A and B are shown apart, each in its own frame.
Chain A
């Protein structure tokens, strides 16, 4: 139990995927201009991430390991992910075009949100079992989502501020992200209760 809690605490706070592990930064910077968009992205990613984390685990455990094909993991993982994303995209495009508009080019780019592949690979590295993989994937997504939404809210306030011209846009966004990372340093050590 506590071990599972630990996985969540670690992925969400102590080793937050975006701010500490440096995974999934492109959507983090790209979809954070509007709070609504950010929320949409957070949800979509959470869905894809958990799903692909599990499915890639299954592929690895029951297809690759038995035949000693670990060297194919990257290839097969990314394939699994790409398909998951693609299905999600088509589905969303059909079901809620508005959200689709907001997320724009970023939905297909969830594929290349390295957090997704990162989770799959780390699952292997840390030798997680099925439940752990699911938790890990979900935790990563939760960490990503929370940070993304907070970030978006902050950016909405910052766009109204008198930021020095060279820093307008991306730079001040990165500075803010840096400050967030600074704050998250406080969680260091939480993971090893």
Chain B
């Protein structure tokens, strides 16, 4: 076109013509950041074991992530770098006893990352919460390893240093006289369950030194720090308030009448909240966007469901704590819930 000599060509791209605000990796990193205080508290109360477990789990998680991506012929870089596998690993490590042998993490991650995540198509498409699948698999497969818990270092007559911890985790043998029986102890929830079942009174059971003001000594503080991290996520809008509120609220509401009716065989509501995995689950696990519900109403139902099932299992079931199962069971229900809680559209 002679008339317009200086026309010029451009490459085109889809709207909006503005750089995106965030990335998956940033989201996951925030979650990891929010977990830091809780983990530090954990280390403070129970020794360095947890750090080792986190390391182990992360390594195995990334290894299986890499393997599965290769097998599925999917690009490695974006998915290895999205940190979702690490989140899975950390949350799993926080569920197992600090001295669990190393192969526990290995098998757990095989099922968590390999089965629960990648057989469903990897990031974002898994129906079940990988970390919880991993935990439940090892819990039912190796009940002994998964029930030998440590008392808080404050109470333990002899606590393990880093060297001993490593030795224990990798050899499976406790480098102390007395072996396992010497250092392990039933968790507060265990004591409660077995105690109540053998007809002892809750206040009586709570006299045991491992109980603190609400939950177990140590455990309750760890819970507080996790809650703090959770609030950070809330503030950053990584998670929505519905889930945590629903979980903790329902726990309080539902355990209250039992406690009022019979305080001798039912623990104080706050004790329910602060013992076991409730707080961690409320802020970090039940909030997993992928395996959770989509709509706000859905999330409320999801949270309440987790709380109810957990309490039922604690009260009547065979396991001292039921959070993991509760989460998986609600994962099961999530698609159905989503279907019946589609939010109202504009003008509807």
Report A's interface with B, CB cutoff 8 A: 35, 149-150, 153-154, 156-158, 161-164, 167, 172, 175-176, 179-180, 182-190, 193
CB neighbours (8 Å) of A158 from chain B are 120, 127
Q: 21 A-B pairs, CB-CB below 8 angstroms?
A: A35-B336, A150-B335, A153-B335, A157-B127, A157-B335, A161-B121, A164-B118, A164-B121, A179-B332, A183-B136, A185-B140, A185-B325, A186-B325, A186-B326, A186-B328, A186-B329, A188-B318, A189-B319, A190-B312, A190-B313, A190-B318
Main secondary structure of the interface of A (DSSP, over half): helix
Cβ contacts under 8 Å, A188 to chain B = 317-319
Contact check, A164 vs B72: say whether CB atoms are below 8 A apart: yes
Partner of A154, one of B121, B127, B316: B127
Which residues of B are at the interface with A, using a C-beta cutoff of 8 A?
71-72, 115-116, 118-122, 125, 127-128, 133, 136-137, 140, 309, 312-313, 316-319, 322, 324-326, 328-329, 331-333, 335-336, 339
The 5 closest A-B pairs by CB, nearest first: A189-B318, A186-B325, A162-B121, A183-B328, A161-B125
Query: Whole-angstrom distance from the CB of A108 to the nearest CB of chain B?
Result: 28
Q: Bound state CA distance, A162 and B312, in angstroms?
A: 35
Q: Majority SS of interface residues in chain B?
A: helix
Q: 4 additional contacts, CB 8 Å, given A163-B120, A179-B127, A188-B318?
A: A164-B71, A183-B328, A189-B317, A189-B318
Is the CB–CB distance between B336 and A167 below 8 Å? Answer: no
Partner among A154, A162, A180, A189 whose Cβ is within 8 Å of the Cβ of B122: A162
Is the Cβ of B316 less than 8 Å from the Cβ of A190? Answer: yes
Report the separation of the CA atoms of residues A154 and B116 in the bound assembly, to the nearest whole angstrom: 13
Measured between alpha carbons, how far is A71 from B330 in the docked complex, in Å? 44
Verify A186–B128 contact, CB threshold 8 A. no
